[in-house]
Amino acid sequence: MEARVSAITTPRNETAPHRRTKSYGFSRRSLGVELTSHFGCTPGQLTAVRIPTSRGIPKPRNLTEQVDPEHVALIVKKEWKLSYVTPLYQFRHTQLQSYSKQLASFLVAEKQQGVAVEVGQELGFKVVFTAALGLAETEDDAETVLIQIQSKSAFAAEGETAKVVWSGWLSCVSGDVEYLKALPPDFTCLPLFGTSGAESLTTLVMSWFERTFDCYFGPLGINSTNLEWLAALWTGCHSDTNIRYLKLAWTVPAQPPLDVSYTVHPQDAWELWDSIRQESGLRDTVDIEEVNCFIRGLESHFFRHFRIYLSAGTLTKVATSLGSAHKDGKIRIASSDMMTSVLALLTECALLKMPI
């Protein structure tokens, strides 16, 4: 057929009516997660990692009974920059001490720009790898690993505690069972990597992991759907712990950019969330529809006053006193009670983001 483009009619969308290739394979990315790889190009396993449309009600879990409180204290309160990491090849939880020495020597060597250093000499840096046992939720989850880099000053007095200059952790909480079971036995899956400290050290640690365990790191953003889950998850906790406030922040792409923050009174936010939950019948799971309804409700209350479409912008941050999350992949977990629920959600993000 000849394509006749008249000057009077609006030009028609001239794409082919159906693309068959779309009918399979891509569905798991359908909820707004960026497409990071094409199935055809990846030789790995086909897995059925999907974005869940409903989750169990997060129950506050008293971690201090199962996990060393010192380990918990290392994770809470700090702000972490998140990355995803592909499964680690031949990583052993029993070898942590040797990894400490290797990474320390690697750091020194890199700092001295290629000069060879004897293993175990640890000039300048001390690295501590620890396993935070008990954070895992299922038996397929690998135990969380904490890493600390301490800087040793050459002039430090005897007995002076070294200063922690960088910390990070690798974690897997309630990872997708089917995916974890499908991994070959030599791989350990710790897909979530949080770092806090100098960017240059983060890069060095990543490159050491990439060389040693044949893995790959990539930045992990938190998309608006997941930010909304977190907002609902934290708001739901208000009946147990006072969340003090619920703050949502958007950026609207005006010229110059407009930042909008909406801080809701905790009790009112909780009552709205609770009424949505009541409406859909109290079940053990929270549906994505309920989360949507909650956020859309807040947005339309905002719209009624200011007549600005927040949907034109992006949700950039959600925060309560229990923690905060930023779309660029920054997270702060202020309360150990909800730590496993948050880590489970982030583990899921990391698994989805990972090239298969």
Partner 1 sequence: MDDSAKQVLRKIIRRIPSNKLQNILSKWEHLSKKQFRSLEFTQAKWLLCDNLLSLCEENDLSMKHVTELEMIYRIENPAQGSWNVCQLIDPSEEAVTVDSLTFKDSFKAHLKHLISHVSVKMKKHEDNAIWIRIAWGDNFTQPNHLNPTYVVHHLQTPYVFVSGLTAKHKPFLHQALIPSTHYGGLKDVHLSGRCLTALRDLLMRQYKQAFPVKHPRLLQEKSPVPSHPNIETEHAKHTEKRLQMAAEAFGEGILPKLETAVYKLETRFRENGMPGRREEPFRGVVKFSSSNLLESLKNCVSSGMASAPVTPLLSSITQKGRNYFVITDKGPGVSHTQGRKI
Site residues for partner 1 per CB under 8 A: 7-11, 252-265, 268, 271-272, 275-276, 278-279, 293, 297, 300-309, 312-313
Beta bridge partners of 175: none
When the beta carbons of 102 and 292 are compared against partner 1, the nearer one is 292
When the beta carbons of 182 and 258 are compared against partner 1, the nearer one is 258
**Is residue 50 within 8 Å of residue 348, measured between CB atoms?**
no
The DSSP result for 208-271, as a single string, is HHHHHH---EEE----HHHHHHHHHHHHHGGGTS----EEEEEEE--SS-EEEEEEEPHHHHHH
Give buried/exposed letters for 43-74 (b at 16+ CB in 10 A, else e): eeeebeeebeeebeebebbebeeebbeebbeb
SS3 276: helix
SS3 101: helix
Q: 191 preceded by cis ω (within 30°)?
A: no
When the beta carbons of 41 and 282 are compared against partner 1, the nearer one is 282
Q: How far is the CB of 258 from partner 1 (least distance, A)?
A: 4
Q: How far is the CB of 314 from partner 1 (least distance, A)?
A: 12
Q: How far is the CB of 261 from partner 1 (least distance, A)?
A: 5
Measuring CA to CA, which residue among 271, 264, 248 is closest to residue 317? 248
Q: How far is the CB of 248 from partner 1 (least distance, A)?
A: 10
The DSSP result for 11-71, as a single string, is PPP-S-S--GGGGSSGGGGTTT------GGG--S--------SEEEPP----GGGTS-HHH
When the beta carbons of 64 and 275 are compared against partner 1, the nearer one is 275
Q: How far is the CB of 319 from partner 1 (least distance, A)?
A: 13
Q: How far is the CB of 276 from partner 1 (least distance, A)?
A: 6
When the beta carbons of 132 and 276 are compared against partner 1, the nearer one is 276
When the beta carbons of 159 and 281 are compared against partner 1, the nearer one is 281
SS3 317: strand
H/E segment holding residue 291: helix 288-306
The dihedrals phi and psi of 91, each to the nearest 5 degrees, come to: -90, 130
Q: How far is the CB of 337 from partner 1 (least distance, A)?
A: 25
When the beta carbons of 112 and 263 are compared against partner 1, the nearer one is 263
Give, as one character, the DSSP assignment of residue 124: S
Q: How far is the CB of 257 from partner 1 (least distance, A)?
A: 7
**Is residue 344 within 8 Å of residue 135, measured between CB atoms?**
no
When the beta carbons of 109 and 308 are compared against partner 1, the nearer one is 308
